[in-house]
Structure 1
């Protein structure tokens, strides 16, 4: 599973520079920025040493590429965590800033569950508790809920009864390739995180503290070998309510 607590370290390398000239005519020193007839754009390639080389007028091909880049950037910025229509019913909170996050819940349900062989837990379908999810593009926290009602601000949260989670709800995703870009709409964002979480293999305990009142191996072995609903009485409170998580 991929450790999503690590930040991305993308390296950006300059490859093109633009120099924009205004034409100042006699008796008309004030030139409006939208007067395209009085603007000249010069394009430079960036050499191996990082210096501008090969100065030339901006070509039509370069102009088209620049326009497409600006359009794509605007669409990505406008799309991140924005809903395609009405907000999903299970959405609890959303902050659509550049590095914003969403908070949502899922009711008790049956999911495909995957465990590493060394745990001795059969992979298969099993019931999981209601959950609260809080995610940015590269970090995920999960918590459990008792019952199946949509939570309110004062609803008590419980430790997520899963392997690969820390006491604060943070999730270690191991070798899962997290690929959520800045243009991901809200519905896809939520769906992708749920698929990442349940599509990965549960493998180990983190933090050394018990997540459930029942042995966690026995708990999940029972869930994947029977058709029993998840036993809410095995959950431990984590000392947070939903309002505190959102803040």
Structure 2
């Protein structure tokens, strides 16, 4: 027998129900009735909402608001590579990373060794659940009309959205900006590249041969191999 209890999620049971009544008059005065829930999930013991119940409800809502206020909040000065922040509860952030050398991982059947390789400048758009990545020719003078290029990797759709596969993405509702950026970059670079999406090479030429010529050899990434995807940074802001 295998103990799988650690895989069970938390179970929530109903304990209270509120019904809001409002008079059909110009003042629209309101009355709130509270119900307890019995063991079978039925509403019982109807009574006016008490002061203690009101305070408990206010505290629960305040905690939710606090989590929402912390999402994408910077822990200090804004990172220099941050371009745009939408701090709504379901918001997103857009930032860039310069050309650099990073460890990359590929499944065996691609015939590409794992190891460090040079990558081009990248533009990132991350939300709580989704990540989009594009390539840039340069990180100098980025503006709304800056053209974006297809990121030269596997596991990315034509619109730039990354297929995370089996990666377990866990972005908390109170995630601060710097941690948010670090988590997405870590999720992406620590996953294994496995297949092309959309049926087209994301670079000019053969993408497998490109990475075979870069991994572990210390060569600069050939910017001329990038392919435009027809959109600008402004499109990501909508």
TM bin, normalised by shorter chain, reads 0.7 to 0.9
Residue aligning to 2:39: 47
In structure 2, the residue corresponding to 1:244 is in which secondary structure? Answer: helix
Residue 17 of structure 2 contacts residue 43 of structure 2 at CA under 8 Å; is this kept in 1? no
| 1:184 matches 2:175 | yes
In structure 2, the residue corresponding to 1:187 is in which secondary structure? Answer: helix
In structure 2, the residue corresponding to 1:194 is in which secondary structure? Answer: helix
Structure possessing the higher relative contact order (Cα contacts under 8 Å, 6 or more residues apart): 1
| 1:15 matches 2:14 | yes
Q: CA deviation at 1:241?
A: 1.3
**Aligned-pair Cα RMSD in Å:** 3.1
In 1: Cα distance, 2:34 partner to 2:227 partner: 64
Unaligned runs of 5+ in 1: 1-9, 21-40
Residue aligning to 1:26: none
In structure 2, the residue corresponding to 1:224 is in which secondary structure? Answer: coil
Residue aligning to 2:202: 211
Q: CA deviation at 1:45?
A: 3.7
Deviations 1:143-196 (A, max 9, x none): 000134252222111001100001110110000000002111111111111111
Of residues 165, 171, 187 in structure 2, which corresponds to 1:196? Answer: 187
Normalised by the length of structure 2, the TM-score is: 0.80
Normalised by the length of structure 1, the TM-score is: 0.77
Query: In structure 2, do the counterparts of structure 1 residues 11 and 100 end up closer, same or farther at CA, with 3 Å as the change threshold?
Result: farther
In structure 1, the residue corresponding to 2:132 is in which secondary structure? Answer: strand
Of residues 124, 134, 142 in structure 2, which corresponds to 1:133? Answer: 124
Q: CA deviation at 1:214?
A: 2.4
Residue 132 of structure 2 contacts residue 162 of structure 2 at CA under 8 Å; is this kept in 1? yes
How do 1:1-247 and structure 2 match up within 5 A?
14-17=13-16, 44-48=36-40, 50-53=41-44, 69-149=60-140, 151-247=142-238
